[in-house]
Each structure stands twice: as C-alpha cells, then as structure tokens.
Structure 1
Amino acid sequence: MPEHDPEQELGPKFASAFQDRSATSELRGAGLAAVARKRVRRRRRALNGVAASVLVVVAVGGAWSVLGSGGTPTNSAGSAEVPTAAKDNRTQGIAPSYEADTACPTDHPIKGVEEAGAVPAGLDVSTPVTGLQACRYQVPGGEVLGHERFDAKVAQQVVDAIKVLPERNPALPVFKCAPEAARPTEAIALRFSTAAGIREIWVEYTGCTTPGFFTGSRTYGLFAAPLKLFMTGSVRPSGSTYLNALTGW
C-alpha cells in the first residue's frame, strides 16, 4: 500500500480554492463594470436632457438662471410679457388726459359776477404763462357754452396782445341802458397756467356798459387782436352788440 502523503491531499484543495476566488473576482469585476456603464449612460441621458432644455429655452428667447440646487426660469429681454410692477412704473410721470385735467369748472365765480373786473384770481400780465384754457359761460347761471385749450405759445401771444391795449376802445359805441340790460348775458374766462397756479382774465362783450378784458386790478379795452387768437371753435360767440360793432375778430 502506498504511503499517505498529506501534501498530495492539500494540493487539489488549494487549486480548487484559487479557482473559486478567481471566478469570484471575475464576476465582481464584471459587475462593477456593468454598474459603471450604467452610471455613464445615466449621466449621458441627463446631459442630453439639459442640453435639449437649453435649446428649447434659447429658441423662445428665454434664459435659465440656476440658483443653488434648483433651476428657476427668468424672462429675458426678448420675452413679450412685462411684469405688472413694470407696467405700473411705466405710467408714472405721464401727464393727465385732457378730459380729466382741463374741463372748465362748472361752479365758476364768473357766473354770479355783479360788476366788471371782479376777478378773484386775476393775472398780472407781466407773469410768464405756459398754457391757456378758454371757457365761455352763460351769465348768470354758469352753464359752460364752449371751451378750447391752447399751448404756451398762443397763451403768451394772448397776454402780449392784451397788455398793450388802452383802457377803452374809442371805436366802440356808448350805450345808455337800464341796469338790467347792462349786465352781460355771457362772458369768457381765460384761465392761464402759471408757476403760481391758474390765473385768469375775464372777457366781457355783451350787455351795454362793460366790454373789455379784466384782470382784477386793471381794465383793458375790447379790441380784435387778442380776440381772434382764442375766439375759435366752441369759444367763438355768434355775436353781440359790441362784437357786431368790432371788425377783425
């Protein structure tokens, strides 16, 4: 009988163990490789998705701004939508409309005037003016019969044409009439814009004793030169005793 040798018995066991370890290492390596490949594919898909999103945003004129870990879209200059706050800010500083800012006051002192020249906020004709609103009123009563608005150039022309006039126009007739007939039936309030606010000159051309321009401190005679500058449109009367006797207006 051959002699038992322990080393011969251990040899096959070592060989089998090494073989099993090698197989395990190969499987583990294959598994790690597969995991790595999966991770690479996921990263590629994520990158492709981001790239596609960027292309879509650029195509519509937008831009993405990433804050921290999350992305938040922000409108670029090419966006057609304007935030509400911006819309509100754009309206600041805009002048009021004509209807809201320049309507003739219905409750005007001229409607109850008892004497010529009673102008509570008269214009000093040496004051620069920046605009003019002419309001034609029924007197008494105060109904607005017409109104027109003029720019700074015309407003200053009206003032310049008035301030050189004498106190009376000698070419106009002189009437003797009863007190009831002496009162005007209509008049025009010239409302001038100045740095100190609205200042007025009243124009009377009806009745029989008080034609002219009144500033509250001075009287100027009724002449055609100033009248033809502002007696236009609805402010232009159909006529009166004094206007019928005055040419050129």
Structure 2
Amino acid sequence: MPEHDPEQELGPKITSAFHDHAGVTGMQKSGLAREARRRVHRRRQAWSVAAGAVLVAVVGGGVWGLAGSESPVASSHSDAGSAAAAGTAKSNQGIVGPREQTVCPSAPAIQQAAGPNALPAGTGLELSTPVTGLTACRYRMSDGTVLGQQSFNASVAQQVVDAIKVLPERNPALPVFKCAPQTAKPGEAIVLRFSTADGVREIWVEYDGCESPGFFTGTHTYGLYAAPLKLFMVGTVRPTGGTYLNALQGW
C-alpha cells in the first residue's frame, strides 16, 4: 500500500477553501458594484432636477435662487424694468397731474401786446414774490392757439424764478438780426403763469422772430439762457426750434 501523505489530503481542502473565498469575494464585489451604480444614478437624477429648476427660473425672467441660497439673483428682465421705472419717475418729478393743471387762456394778452415787454399793468411777476405753482403755455402768435401746456409744483416754479433772476439783461452769445417789420414778430412764444398769494402773475418768454429774445416781466428784461428753459420746456411746451433757440446751446 502506498504511504499516506497528509499533504495530499490538505491540497484539495485548501483548493476548495480558496474557491469558496473567491466566490464570497466575487459576491461582495458584485454587491458593491450594484450599490455604486445605484448611488451614481441617484446623483444624476438630483443634478437633473436642479438643472431643470435653474432653467425654468431663467426662462421665466423672475427672481430665483437655489435651495438654501441666502442671496437670490434678479434676472436681467427685472433689472431693466426697475431701471425704466426709476427713469420715468425721475423725469416726472415736479410735473402736476392733469386734474391739478391750470388751463391756459385761449385769448392771451401776449398776442395783443405791442411788444415782448408790453405786459399790462399788474400782470408781470416781481421775482422777489413767493410762487406756489406754474403753468407754462406755448402759443401760436398769429391766432392765440394753445400749442402746448404743462403745470408744475411750487418747487419747480421757484426754481424757474431763481434761474431767471440771476441772468443779465442780454445774452451776448446770441446773434442780433435786422428784420423787416413783417418778419420781426415771433411765430410763437411761451407765457409762464405763476400762482401767487395775489393771483396769477406772468413772465413772457420770447425765442422766435427777430425782435428781442429773453424773459420779460413788464419791469425787467432778462437775457435768453438755457438754464431756465430746461426746467419748463418739456412735453408739448417744448418747441421744435426758433430763431434764437437755433443759436442757443443746451436748451
């Protein structure tokens, strides 16, 4: 009989043990792989949902932020709307609404006057007088038609007065014309009608024709400059041009 060799018996057992261990390890690896794939799939789903939320917020043009964000970001549409609203509010400062506007007379004294400084007695505004409002009336001089009008609050009215009273009698930068009488009269002019404690007082503004441009109170003449004009020449009160306006910068 051949001798009994213990190593021969151990060989198959060891081999079997290795096979069993390999099988267990393979199962473990397989399970880990499935778990890894499951986690990757869940992460992809989460990122897809987040990306969809961002896309909807951007397309909608609203204010959006991710969950937990402390600083929402405003879209460009919202910014543009806010800027436009702010610009409109700024441009309307000092302008009185339609219900509060004073109607411009249809037969103005300026149309019948002999000259730009011929205001009837008691009509002109002394620039030291406190004012509480202003209505600017633009007239066609041939028939007195109101070409435009706009009312302003007390703050703007006082700004106009303050801007006029510091002016010299004449603006030397404007040209001097020699015109025939039939072409000397202006085609249009503006009457500034100020509200005061004693009633309405006027300043006449001449900027067309070729007589004498400026601001006239009946007792004083002030040269035509852009600073006061910019305060009330808005909307329909703003002329498209004029003999002297065409030579004046910045109005």
> In 2, are the aligned partners of 1:138 and 1:187 still within 8 Å (CA)?
yes
Q: Does 1:135 align with 2:137?
A: yes
- Picking from 140, 155, 161, the partner of 2:163 is 161
Q: Secondary structure of 1:241's partner?
A: coil
Cα 1:227/1:108, change in 2 over 3 Å: same
Q: Does 1:184 align with 2:189?
A: no
How many residue pairs align between the two structures?
153
User: TM-score, with normalisation over the residues of structure 1?
Assistant: 0.59
Shift of 1:114: 2.2
> In 1, are the aligned partners of 2:101 and 2:151 still within 8 Å (CA)?
no
Amino acid at match of 2:188: E
Amino acid at match of 2:200: I
> In 1, are the aligned partners of 2:186 and 2:206 still within 8 Å (CA)?
yes
> In 1, are the aligned partners of 2:117 and 2:216 still within 8 Å (CA)?
yes
Task: Find the counterpart in structure 1 of residue 125 from structure 2.
Answer: 123
Shift of 1:153: 0.5
Amino acid at match of 1:169: N
Looking at structure 2, the residues matched to 114 and 124 of structure 1 have their Cα atoms a distance apart, in angstroms, of 21
Looking at structure 2, the residues matched to 111 and 207 of structure 1 have their Cα atoms a distance apart, in angstroms, of 14
Output the aligned Cα RMSD.
1.4
Q: How does 1:1-249 map to 2 (within 5 A)?
A: 98=98, 102-120=102-120, 121-249=123-251
Map Cα deviations across residues 149-198 of structure 1 (whole Å, 9 max, x no partner). Answer: 10100000000000010110000001111011111111100000001000
Looking at structure 2, the residues matched to 198 and 176 of structure 1 have their Cα atoms a distance apart, in angstroms, of 35
Cα 1:203/1:239, change in 2 over 3 Å: same
Give every structure 1 segment of 4 or more consecutive aligned residues whose post-TM-superposition deviation is greater than 3 Å: 97-101
Q: Percent identity?
A: 67
Where does the alignment leave 5 or more consecutive residues of structure 1 unmatched?
A: 1-96
Amino acid at match of 1:108: P
Where does the alignment leave 5 or more consecutive residues of structure 2 unmatched?
A: 1-96
> In 2, are the aligned partners of 1:112 and 1:140 still within 8 Å (CA)?
no
Larger Rg: 1
User: TM-score, with normalisation over the residues of structure 2?
Assistant: 0.59
